Every structure is written in structure tokens, then in C-alpha cells.
Structure 1
């Protein structure tokens, strides 16, 4: 094979992410897909309630989590083997086709819950490969020094999707029922496909293989082809052990290699533990616990809405801060401090003396959680070898989307036994342990973001 080495672009030559048309096309695709997801979930919930009992509707809404949790690790392998852009494009195409098909069937007839359950299972199965690929994609569209800013932009996109998606879904239901809402969701997801096709992918960089396990060889030959067709996924890079091995190894070997890489990484291993603890402690209070707290305090649905708005506003401010600044010093220490301070705020939320105080506390929780989440995400992106990012993202996704939701029924049951205060404090303690993990890990505590 002729050696065709394409040197990576130096970070100094990179445009700021918010001025880079390539990044903005990726951001547009991501935003359209996320808004479509929000519309889809509202349409699914409405259609399930109309077709069955509340318990049956809840089962339809929950069934997608099973294939997502079971197949997520395999999805990370797929993303790394075939390239994140190809996987995201294929996943969005399948999701779009499935949702539009259900919309057409609902327009023509009333198939019942079985069709909705089938759609939910299909969506969860596709999500198992879609989500790890989404996590691996930012490192392939911009430089490492811009990944913190990209995490901020991604946070803004999520906030925008949460704010806009529900009203759009409600409008679709009002105009044409669940079928119209599903059709709208499919069209929004479809918007992402041509945008992703136009996104240019970078070659895998050669200077990010830090903290590799001792059993991964580093004396690799450099006479391999890098690059590939214009605008396509890059091929193996000079230092890319995982990419070179992927051509020969089985998917099972790739999975084991990825888990071994994570286990031996001095920054990523404790970082994933910290993320897991944060998610486990955060999901219950902010989903189930807040509803029960609002009911106990007499705030009502509108009061709960104000508290959630405070949280969303705080998270949006954190995302905007990182988008504008693009870098923060002492990322590991700042992440630990924001996790610890945020955990105190979560515990204090249950003891807020009034609705105004609760909204202010939720604003602080959102700001600190948004900051720590974005910093942890940026550290994950910059510390991981891009050749492993799909598998790294899949492990993080299993915790966030598989294990953390299990805390919701547990939180509800615990509040029934002991009340909101003790449960919120316990959840806050679990979150705080994530900050302790960061402080106790020297390499993670000293980790810096590139600039």
C-alpha cells in the first residue's frame, strides 16, 4: 500500500466553533434531530394514552429503554468500526422512516398499542447505536481546543429542543392528532440527514493517545493510509491501534479492547464513575422527587413548571458561558467544585421555604449541574482517543440512560416511606460522591482542557 499520510490540522488554524460553518451544520443537524425526538416522545405518549390505559401507556413509553440498555455497548463498537457520521446518518434515516410509517398508518387506521410498542422498541434499538455515535462525532468535526465550546453549543441545542419540542408536538396533536405529530417528528429528524451528509470529517488525530493501557502497543507502523474519500470517514491513522485492529478484530474483541482501554485509563475510568454517581443522584429528585415535592408544598403544576424553568435557565446560562468562553482553566478542579456545590443545592431544594426560594435554588442547581456536566463531557471528549470514543460514549450512555432511570421508582417509593427531605439529601450525597471521586483521583483532578 502506498503511504499517504495526511497531517492533522493544527489547533491554531481552527476557527472558533461558533464561527465554523462545518460545526454549525453539525449543530443544525443535532438540533433538528433533538427537536424531532421531543416531538416524537410527546406524540408517542399522547397516542398511547388514547389507545390504552395509563399503565399500558407507561409500559409503551418505558419499553424502548430495554433494547437501548442491552445493546448500547454494541452500539459503541458499531460507531467506532464504521465511523460516527455514517452511523448517525443511517440511524436518523431509519428513525425518520419508522416514524413517518407509523404516522401514515395512524392516518389510515387505528392499529392500537402493538404498533406503538413496536415503534418504541425499534426506536430504542436504533438509539443504542445512535447515541454512542452522537457522542463520538464532535471530536471528528472540530479541533480538540474547540470541544469545550462545542459542549456548550450542544447544551444550548438541548435546551432549545426541550423548550420548542413540546409546544411543537402539542401543536401537531391539536391540528391533526398523534398522526400529525408523528409526521412532524419524522420531518424534523429528516432535516438532519442532508446537513450531516454535508459535514466534513477530520482525520483521526495522532496526538491524543494518552494514558493507554500498558498492553496496547504503541510501536505501530506508520505506513498506513490516512484520510479517505473527500468528506467521508477517515481511515486508520498512524497511531490508531484501535482503527488498525478494527479491520481484523471481531466486534467482540473490539468491545473487550474498549473496556480494557477504559479500565486502564487514569482519567477516563474515574471520570465515568463520577458521571455515573452524578446521574444516579440527580435523575430521581429532578424527575419524580420534584413532582412529589410540589404536591406536598401546594405549589401545583404551575409551581413545578417554574422550578423546572429555573433549572433550565441555569443550565442554559452554563452552556452559554462555555460557548462564549470556549475554555475554562483547571477543568478537573472546577468540575469537582461544581459537583460538590451542586449536590448541596440539590439537598437544599427540599427545604426551600417558598416557591421563590425553590426557583432560585433550582436556578443554582441548573447552573452548577450544567457547568459540571459540560466540563465532564469536554474532558471525556478530549482525553479519549477518538478511535475509542464510540465505546467510551456507550459506557457513559448506559449509566445515564440505563441505570439512572431506575432511581426514579426507587426515589418515589423512598419519599413515600421517609419524606422528601431525607431522600433529596441522600440523592445529594450520591451526587457529591462524584465530586469526591474527582478530587481523590490525581490525574483527573489535575486534568486540563486544551486551548
Structure 2
């Protein structure tokens, strides 16, 4: 079965991404996989808490972060060398089989926490392969001038998975316990596989394929390419700074705010729902518009202004007002992040996209979460307000940096 299209259509003949069967199959597979991931994490949390202490459950949930951080760059090499579609298919197939195996085990026995930790470890390894490969797929299935729209569609799919996955997982746990929830997650992973098999990738130009070499040489080549690129190199700094300033307040800090102000767990849910609504609106805007003029400058300004909203959240005592602030954070920071991803997709040579996506993912998912314990310790020492102000300043610094770098500020999405 052939895996590539014979040739790309002329740009003028390209259909919009939201009407392209190729892109729709990819979006459906990504949505199913994201839903499965959300259901899996909820089931894992519930099973871990039910079978051990809170500290033990925390360790189980943290296990997957280690291989994901350590192996992410290698996953980028694998995606570029072995074709991203195949890597994603293998990743979702492995996740499906592992989760269905765990569901079966829970139905017939009561395994200890070590089984849950082993599954979490496997998921961390698979994530290190899956995430770069998913990032490398869009330029191989859509025209270059449609990649911004594809990123908007990806954002909508991710928000749908995150919003619908939690209640779906909770319903499955309520009906049949963690085993049923793991089974549902496995079926969702399985649903993505036939959709992915239906994709036909555009071939890389011969000159973009590069010389075959060792994995270490491929990785070194990718890092050299990234370091020497006038837009992509600075974009990695922007991604790292924005996530370092963003994830602490929206995770550790939000829980502290809700406790101090009596919002409760439902208050956290409302604030996160507000953020998700704003981010979803930003993705919808990019999907409909397809292109934002002066994308680099808009990304920098929206992150800089969005940083003000992040700082303001710590000084908003009423829950409805906090939800409104969260909507503005999601809209502004979400648009900035979506534009950064779109610029990454359009500026990067497709032959290097797996490795470049791996570096971006390492910044977001490997390095930025290291701020969690620092955020908690800083809140205990200085309180919520100062920590939110400093975090907002870091986010603003990312926006100011992107505006200060001429190549990023002037970066445009293709017409």
C-alpha cells in the first residue's frame, strides 16, 4: 500500500483544510486519541488514589514524565527517519493494547500500584514518540498556506478532547469502575488507527531527505538546523519563557487561589472552563480566518497583553470576574500559542519537523513543569500575589523577546 501522494496540487487548486478529507481524517484521529488520553489519565488517577496514599498516587502519576522528558528528542529523530504517520499509528496501537490489557487485568484481579506505575512508564515512552510525530504530520497532509488553519483545527480538537474526556471518564468510572474507564480509553485509541491508515502523505522533496546517518548524527543535524534558523531558534526561547510563566499559576497557583477564596473544586473547574473557552475561541478564529497578517507581531503582542491578565487573576476575588479574566487569558495566550505553532509549521523544513517539534515539546512538557515545585515553594514564602506578578512578567518577557527579534516580529504566514 503506497503511503505518499504522487504530487502536491498547485496552491491555487488547494481546498480549505476544513474541507479536505485528508485533514478531516487526521483531525478525527487526533480528537479520538486526545479523548482516549483524557479518559486514561482520569482512570489512572482514580485507580492510583483508590489503591494507595495520596503521595503514592502522585508518584504513579509522575512516572510518565521522566521518560517523556528524557526521550523526547530521540522521538523527534524517529519521527523524521521513519515517517510520522507510521510512528503515530504504532504509538496509538501500543497505547490501545496496553490499556485494554490493564482493563482486563482489573476485571479479573486487583493488581498493586506497581502495575499502574508500569503502565504509566510505558505511556511516557510512547508519548516521547507520539508527540513529535503528531507535530510533524500537518505539512505532509495539507498545503503550506493551510497550515495555520490546520493548527486552529488541532486546537479545537484538543479542547474538545480535554473538555469531553473528563466527564466521559468520570461516567465510565461511575458505571463500572476504573476497568471500564480504561476499556473506554483503549477503544478510543483504537478508533484513531483506521483513520490514520487512511492518510496519504505528501513526499518530501529529494533534496530535503538528507543523508542517512546514525540517530545521534540525525539529532545533531536537527539541533544545528534549529540553532541556525533565524525564526525557529528564537521561537524556542519564546515557547520556553511563555510556558515557564504560564503553567505554574494555572496549575499550582489556581488551586491555592481557590482554597484561599472559598471557590472550592468547582471554582477551579469554572476558571479552567473559562480558559478553555477562550483558547477554543482563539483556535476557532484561526480555523475560520486561515491566516492572520503579521503573525509574528500579533503573537508577541497577544502574549504581552495576555500576561497582564495572568497577573490580574491573583487580584480578582470574585469567581465570576476570575472566570472572565481566565477567558481573556485563554483567548490572548491561546492565540499567541497557536500562531507560534503555525509559524513553526510553516518556517520549518518538513524533513526536520519531528526534531524541531521534539525540542518545542521538551520545552513545554519537560522543562516548564519543573516550575511546579518552585511555584509552590514561592507561594508559601511570599504569597500568591507576588508569584503571579513574577510569572506574568516572565510571560511578558516572552512576548517582548519575540517583538525584539526582527525575524520573528516580521514572520508571516503564507498566503
TM-score when normalising by structure 1: 0.90
Larger Rg: 1
Q: Measure the CA separation in 2 of the matches of 1:89 and 1:157.
A: 18
Residue 248 of structure 2 aligns with which residue? Answer: 284
Following superposition, the deviation at residue 11 of structure 1 comes to 2.0
* Distance of 1:78 and 1:310 partners within structure 2: 37
Is 1:85 the equivalent of 2:85?
Answer: yes
The CA deviation at 1:439 is: 1.1
Is 2:210 aligned against 1:244? Answer: yes
Which of 334, 337, 341 is 2:298 aligned to?
334
1:445 aligns with 2:413: no
The 5-angstrom pairing of residues 177-256 of structure 1 reads: 177-204=177-204, 237-240=205-208, 243-245=209-211, 248-256=212-220
Any idea what SS the aligned residue of 1:244 has?
A: coil
Q: Which residue of 2 aligns with 1:427?
A: 391
Q: Is the 8 Å Cα contact of residues 43 and 182 (structure 2) preserved in structure 1?
A: yes
Q: Distance in 1 between matches of 2:125 and 2:296?
A: 34
Aligned to 1:415: 379
Counterparts of residues 84-123 of structure 1 (less than 5 Å): 84-123=84-123
Candidates 377, 380, 383, aligned match of 2:341: 377
Aligned to 1:234: none
Q: 2 CA distance for matches of 1:43 and 1:298?
A: 27
Alpha-carbon distance, 1:196 to partner: 0.2
Aligned partner of 2:56 in structure 1 is: 56
* Whole-Å separation in 1 of the counterparts to 2:320 and 2:165: 26
Partner residue, 1:207: none
Give yes or no for contact 2:92–2:189 (8 Å, CA) kept in 1. yes
Does residue 173 of structure 2 align to residue 173 of structure 1? yes
1:13 corresponds in structure 2 to 13
Q: As a proportion of its length, which structure holds more helix? A: 2
Match of residue 387 from structure 1: 351
Distance in 2 between residues matched to 1:171 and 1:425, nearest whole Å? 38
RMSD: 1.1
- Partner of 1:338, secondary structure, is helix
Matching residue of 2:285 = 321
Give runs of ≥4 in structure 1 deviating > 3 Å: 5-8
- Counterpart for residue 231 of structure 2: 267
Question: Which whole-Å deviations, capped at 9, do the CAs of 1:282-337 have from their partners, x for residues lacking one?
Answer: 00000110110111122222222221111111111111111111110000000000
Q: How far 1:185 moved relative to its partner?
A: 0.2
User: Which structure 1 segments of 5+ residues have no match?
Assistant: 205-236
Could you tell me whether the CA contact under 8 Å between 2:261 and 2:317 is conserved in 1?
A: no
1:291-310 mapped onto 2 (5 Å cutoff):
291-310=255-274
What residue in structure 1 maps to residue 315 of structure 2?
Answer: 351
Q: Tell me if the contact between 2:98 and 2:119 (Cα under 8 Å) persists in the aligned partners.
A: yes
- Give the superposition deviation at 1:408: 1.3
Please state how far the C-alpha of 1:93 moved relative to its aligned partner.
Answer: 0.5
- Matched residue pairs, number? 411
| Residue-by-residue CA offset, 1:36-95 (whole Å, 9 max, x unaligned) | 000000010111111111100000000000000000000000000001000000111111
Question: What is the CA–CA distance in structure 2 between the aligned matches of 1:444 and 1:188, rounded to whole Å?
Answer: 38
Per the TM alignment, residue 345 of structure 1 is displaced from its structure 2 partner at its CA by 0.8
Distance in 2, matches of 1:300 and 1:88, equals 38
Please state how far the C-alpha of 1:138 moved relative to its aligned partner: 0.9
Structure 1 residue 239 displacement after superposition: 2.3
In 1: Cα distance, 2:9 partner to 2:223 partner: 29
Query: TM-score, length-normalised on structure 2?
Result: 0.97
Distance 1:325 1:313 in 2: 18
